[in-house]
């Protein structure tokens, strides 16, 4: 049996045209997906059963015991941190936020070490964006800044950007210009019409120079900015102003170099400025398939998109104080639940050391380096393959993920609900 139009639970492209071949409730083939997506849908090593750490070793246990242990840890903690959420569906996010409210914890998503600075930039300036289809149909200029979709979002260029075609872009790549700005010549850069090689940590200066040139104040720009010749900057600014519809698509190269959210703020301002001359949109190239979804759910439920602290009973949002890394670095968190993420691989060392000192609960279909630090491990069904639910694409479009095959594992949503029920019962007993 072929299941059509399956959504891919890998990256922020959230491709929804995948064909999955199923035999005897097992996935035997995947078509149209990229290498990254295929490998996730086809599946790999799973955590077989719930585990708890006894005398330093993880030993298998029942789900009931794992839920009980988790509830006791969260309920007993003074400053529990509920982190992750990027590779699960919005239905799980809703339960997670409810659980954070219930235990007076802090809830944060992987955006905190990813596009968190982009969100703070948006809080400063707003975001002039569009859906990806608008770019596909109209954009005659694509600018990738600190983003390398050839490696990280393999189907992006074909489906949505450089190489896609649409109503006003029938010639696809031939009718478009592609500019890449990066600190090294990536595979994406090799496909560009113009590549700006900038020195690491100079995004802010380069964006500022472009803004000056766009605003006809180019005479104030020095001959070289961050190693880039002024003539090159003038050429890029000229291409931007001459475009009928430009799209600036930025990645972690911008958010994680010196300047961080200020870089994003400046890039958003550049796009706002360009709209005085032509049409321009801007978008963050979100990494995991539903990291954008957590921001959406958290915003409508708590008012804030990430790093929400419920210790006072009301949402309190102050990244820099209430983000996951802040709590761990200050050794403030005294328990951590990790859902559908792998902070042990991605967090700064100091914060991972913080994790090692506190009880860690992991809810995930797969073992990963966080498993090594976990005291309770609860395996779950793979969302988008074994469980349905909602996810938000990098452009904020919400789509429903399908369940393709049955799973012996409970869904993330069921797991969180079970923990929530037990936390509430413990509350009643007190």
Q: Which stretch binds another protein (CB under 8 A): 106-114, 141-149, 208-216, 301-309?
A: 301-309
**Does 368 participate in binding another protein (rule CB under 8 A)?**
no
Three-state DSSP at 54 gives strand
**Does 251 participate in binding another protein (rule CB under 8 A)?**
no
- Rg over alpha carbons for the chain, rounded to the nearest Å, is 23
**Does 143 participate in binding another protein (rule CB under 8 A)?**
no
Report the C-alpha gap between 429 and 419 in whole angstroms.
Answer: 15
Long-range contacts of 155-162 (CB under 8 A, 24+ apart): 155/13, 155/15, 155/33, 155/34, 155/37, 156/13, 156/285, 157/188, 157/191, 159/13, 159/15, 159/132, 160/13, 160/132, 160/133, 160/135, 160/136, 161/132, 161/135, 161/136, 161/247, 161/249, 162/191
Applying CB under 8 A, the site for another protein has a residue count of: 61
Q: Which of 99, 132, 196, 267 binds another protein (CB under 8 A)?
A: 132
Q: Which stretch binds another protein (CB under 8 A): 182-190, 197-205, 256-264, 396-404?
A: 396-404
Q: Which of 114, 113, 110, 120 has the alpha carbon at shortest distance from 261?
A: 120
Task: Please name the helix (run of DSSP H) or strand (run of DSSP E) that holds residue 50, with its range, or none.
Answer: none
Q: Which of 10, 304, 347, 366 binds another protein (CB under 8 A)?
A: 304
**Does 241 participate in binding another protein (rule CB under 8 A)?**
no
CB of 341 to another protein, least distance (A): 21
Report the C-alpha gap between 116 and 107 in whole angstroms.
Answer: 14
**Does 390 participate in binding another protein (rule CB under 8 A)?**
yes
CB of 283 to another protein, least distance (A): 10
Q: Which of 40, 95, 115, 136 binds another protein (CB under 8 A)?
A: 136
Please state whether beta strands 389-392 and 398-401 pair in parallel, antiparallel, or not at all (unpaired). Answer: antiparallel
**Does 296 participate in binding another protein (rule CB under 8 A)?**
yes
Q: Which of 42, 43, 65, 131 binds another protein (CB under 8 A)?
A: 131
- Lookup result for tokens 């949002």: 317
Residues that bind another protein (CB under 8 A): 4-5, 7, 16-17, 90, 94, 101, 119, 122-134, 136-138, 159-160, 166-168, 244-245, 272, 275-276, 278-279, 281, 295-297, 299-305, 310, 312-315, 317, 390, 392, 396-400
């Amino acid at each position: 049996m072929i299941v059509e139009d399956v959504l891919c639970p890998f990256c922020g492209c959230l491709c929804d045209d995948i064909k999955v071949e199923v035999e005897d409730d097992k996935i035997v083939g995947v078509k149209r997906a990229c290498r990254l997506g295929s490998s996730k849908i086809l599946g790999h090593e799973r955590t077989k059963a719930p585990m708890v750490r006894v005398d330093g070793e993880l030993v298998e246990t029942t789900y009931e015991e794992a839920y009980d242990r988790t509830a006791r840890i969260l309920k007993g903690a003074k400053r529990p941190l509920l982190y992750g959420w990027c590779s699960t569906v919005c239905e799980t996010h809703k339960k997670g936020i409810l659980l954070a409210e219930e235990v007076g914890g802090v809830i944060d998503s992987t955006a905190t070490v990813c596009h968190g600075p982009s969100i703070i930039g948006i809080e400063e300036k707003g975001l002039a964006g569009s859906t990806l289809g608008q770019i596909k149909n109209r954009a005659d200029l694509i600018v990738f800044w600190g983003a390398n979709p050839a490696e990280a979002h393999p189907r992006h260029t074909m489906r949505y950007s450089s190489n896609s075609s649409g109503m006003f872009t029938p010639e696809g790549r031939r009718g478009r210009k592609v500019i890449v700005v990066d600190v090294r010549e990536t595979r994406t850069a090799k496909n560009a019409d113009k590549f700006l090689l900038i020195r690491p940590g100079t995004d802010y200066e380069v964006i500022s120079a472009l803004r000056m040139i766009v605003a006809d104040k180019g005479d104030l720009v020095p001959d070289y900015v961050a190693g880039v010749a002024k003539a090159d900057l003038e050429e890029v600014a000229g291409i931007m102003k001459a475009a009928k519809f430009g799209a600036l698509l930025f990645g972690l190269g911008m958010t994680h170099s010196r300047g961080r959210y200020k870089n994003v703020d400046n890039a958003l301002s550049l796009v706002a400025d360009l709209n005085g001359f032509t049409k321009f949109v801007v978008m963050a190239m979100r990494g995991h398939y539903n990291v954008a979804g957590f921001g959406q759910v958290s915003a409508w439920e708590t008012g804030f998109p990430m790093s929400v602290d419920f210790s006072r009973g009301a949402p309190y949002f102050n990244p820099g104080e209430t983000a996951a890394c802040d709590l761990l670095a200050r050794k403030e968190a005294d328990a951590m639940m990790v859902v559908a993420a792998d902070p042990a691989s991605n967090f700064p060392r100091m914060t991972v050391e913080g994790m090692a000192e506190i009880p860690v609960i992991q809810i995930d279909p797969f073992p990963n380096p966080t498993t090594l630090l976990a005291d309770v491990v609860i395996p779950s069904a793979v969302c988008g393959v074994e469980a349905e639910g909602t996810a938000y694409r990098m452009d904020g479009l919400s789509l429903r993920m399908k369940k393709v095959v049955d799973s012996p594992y409970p869904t993330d949503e069921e797991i969180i609900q079970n923990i929530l029920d037990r936390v509430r019962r413990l509350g009643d007993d007190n």
